[in-house]
């Protein structure tokens, strides 16, 4: 069959797509100029949310919404890069789950820098050395990332967006499965793949490493060695993938926050979420009456709570902070009223940020 006529059609369409993309980017460049003049935010979570909803709403197929979203992620990433080069801070080394989350949120056209601690990421964004940071906040099987939550106590940075990343592990090695004698990875990653490894590599030695990325470096250099890491690490270090999706539990998902200096505006229509940090002060946190009192200003206004987490304040024994995720935006009148009421009896009510629910 002669494919020439089809390919000619595709060539003509590609020409239009490229022209339209460049027209769109030229408009973004204008927006960038206006933002630089007024000190506006380059990455605008609520606008990106609206663009994603608009284009998936227009979609009649056959392209899948996920594919369309991925394409638009890269279009807006290119727009951002044209408006102003952005630097995104994440928990390294390169090719970690945090790196993958950062790429998923900001696309391939912005710059990334790996930091070794959460505190370093907060400091880099506070000092303006990075524009945004990506912080893992909770995992569907392991629970909250406490060190990350604690950083918010002493910081004025805002949560500007969230995203969910399905955590999937890949067996990475130069050797075929039957020649693998050692499997390296971070203990949590090995633990999450224990059943698969038992079934497919019952005689291999399991060896703990400092990070999943490190295990792939070892697999690159050592015959018969494999690493267990996100797939991005195989590409990054140029080591072949032996098996994908080797984690024992499906739907193992990590939630990440994007942190920045300026808050995000509302999306509206119940599609915003707000995070608050509350301290009850002298009220006994173990007293259920005190907890009830804290939740009442929210409940009275029909503001739904999706998460509550307590952390020791480290100021006094048995003194706690509460991290709350509630539905709505800080600018909603009901939310403002609830916060004002909370401030009347709580020693601290800190607004950590409002952001689109959709990640
Ligand atoms: O609307 C804006 O503020 C833009 O900068 C344009 C645009 C886009 O390409 O649609 C790019 C980056 C922002 O994060 C949001 C949207």
Q: Which positions are annotated as active-site residues?
A: 254, 256
Residue (of 254, 259, 256, 267) closest to 353 by Cα position: 259
Domain membership of residue 340 as a residue range: 272-356
Q: For ligand 1, atom 14, which residue shows the shortest CA distance?
A: 43
Substitution site in 46, 48, 107 for ligand 1 pocket (most atoms within 8 Å of beta carbon): 48
How confident is the model over 27-85, as pLDDT tens digits? Answer: 999 999 999 889 889 999 999 999 999 999 999 999 999 999 999 999 999 999 999 99
pTM for the full model? Answer: 0.90
How confident is the model over 230-279, as pLDDT tens digits? Answer: 999 999 999 999 999 999 988 889 999 999 999 999 998 889 999 999 99
Give the end of a domain, one of 105, 137, 166: 166
- Using only C-alpha atoms, the chain has a radius of gyration, in whole angstroms, of 23
The pair of structure tokens assigned to 36 is 């630089």
Note whether residue 262 is domain-resident: no
The CATH code of the domain that includes 63 is 1.20.59.10
More confident residue, 280 or 132: 132
Distance CA 127, CA 261 (A): 10
Return mean pLDDT, the chain: 94
Residue (of 275, 323, 325) closest to 305 by Cα position: 325
The answer to whether residues 276 and 352 belong to one domain is yes
Note whether residue 316 is domain-resident: yes
Neighbour-count burial of 282, counting CB atoms closer than 10 A to its CB (0-12 exposed, 13-18 middle, 19+ buried): exposed
The 8-class DSSP code of residue 179 comes to: G
Note whether residue 9 is domain-resident: no
ipTM over 0.90: yes
Neighbour-count burial of 345, counting CB atoms closer than 10 A to its CB (0-12 exposed, 13-18 middle, 19+ buried): middle
How many domains are contained in the chain?
4
Q: For ligand 1, atom 8, which residue shows the shortest CA distance?
A: 76
Note whether residue 233 is domain-resident: yes
308-331 in b/e burial notation, b at 16+ Cβ within 10 A? ebebebeeeeebbbbbbbbbbbbe
Substitution site in 28, 68, 106 for ligand 1 pocket (most atoms within 8 Å of beta carbon): 28
Note whether residue 292 is domain-resident: yes
Note whether residue 237 is domain-resident: yes
Element holding 260 (H helix, E strand):
strand 253-260
Give the end of a domain, one of 115, 137, 166: 166
Note whether residue 1 is domain-resident: no
Distance 135 CA to ligand 1 centre (A): 22
The answer to whether residues 143 and 184 belong to one domain is no
The answer to whether residues 78 and 93 belong to one domain is no
The answer to whether residues 132 and 195 belong to one domain is no
Q: Which atom of ligand 1 lies nearest, measured to the CA of 83? A: 5
The CATH code of the domain that includes 306 is 3.30.70.260
The CATH code of the domain that includes 178 is 3.40.190.10
Whether cis (ω within 30° of 0) applies to the bond prior to 62 is: yes
Neighbours of 115 (CB within 10 A): 21
The answer to whether residues 101 and 159 belong to one domain is yes
Give the end of a domain, one of 149, 166, 183: 166
Note whether residue 198 is domain-resident: yes
The answer to whether residues 73 and 104 belong to one domain is no
The pair of structure tokens assigned to 335 is 């939310």
Neighbours of 127 (CB within 10 A): 8
- CB-defined site of ligand 1, < 6 Å: 28, 31, 43-44, 47-48, 51, 76, 79-80, 83
The answer to whether residues 154 and 189 belong to one domain is no
Distance CA 31, CA 51 (A): 15
Model confidence at 318, in pLDDT bands (50, 70, 90)? confident
The pair of structure tokens assigned to 220 is 């690159």
Alpha carbon separation from 54 to 26, 50, 75, 131 (Å, rounded): 20, 6, 14, 27
The answer to whether residues 146 and 133 belong to one domain is yes
């Amino acid at each position: 069959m002669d494919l020439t006529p089809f390919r000619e059609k595709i060539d003509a369409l590609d020409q239009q797509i490229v022209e339209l993309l460049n027209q769109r980017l030229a408009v973004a460049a204008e927006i960038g100029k206006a933002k630089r003049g007024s000190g506006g935010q380059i990455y605008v979570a609520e606008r990106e949310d609206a663009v994603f909803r608009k284009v998936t709403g227009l979609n009649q197929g056959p392209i899948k919404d996920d594919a369309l979203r991925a394409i638009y992620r890269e279009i807006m990433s290119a727009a951002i890069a044209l408006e102003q080069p952005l630097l995104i801070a994440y928990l390294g080394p390169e090719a970690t789950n945090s790196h993958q989350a950062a790429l998923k949120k900001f696309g391939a056209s912005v710059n990334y820098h790996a930091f070794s601690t959460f505190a370093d990421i907060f400091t880099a964004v506070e000092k303006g050395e990075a524009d945004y940071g990506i912080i893992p906040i909770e995992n569907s099987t392991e629970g909250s990332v406490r060190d990350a939550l604690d950083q918010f106590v002493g910081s004025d940075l805002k949560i500007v967006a969230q995203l969910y990343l399905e955590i999937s592990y890949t067996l990475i090695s130069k050797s075929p499965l039957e020649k693998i004698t050692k499997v390296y990875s971070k203990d949590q990653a090995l633990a999450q793949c224990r059943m698969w490894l038992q079934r497919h590599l019952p005689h291999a030695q399991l060896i703990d490493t400092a990070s999943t990325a490190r295990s792939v470096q070892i697999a690159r250099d050592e015959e018969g060695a494999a690493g267990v890491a996100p797939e991005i690490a195989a590409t990054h270090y140029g080591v072949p993938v032996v098996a994908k999706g080797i984690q024992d539990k499906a739907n193992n998902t990590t939630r990440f926050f994007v942190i920045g200096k300026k808050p995000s505006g509302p999306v509206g229509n119940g599609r915003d979420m707000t995070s608050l940090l509350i301290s009850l002060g002298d009220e006994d946190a173990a007293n259920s009456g005190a907890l009830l009192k804290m939740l009442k200003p929210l409940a009275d206004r029909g503001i739904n709570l999706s998460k509550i987490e307590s952390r020791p304040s480290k100021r006094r024994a048995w003194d706690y902070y509460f991290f709350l995720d509630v539905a709505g935006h800080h600018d909603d009148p009901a939310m403002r009223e609830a916060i004002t009421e909370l401030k009347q009896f709580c020693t601290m009510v800190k607004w950590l940020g409002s952001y689109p629910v959709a990640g």
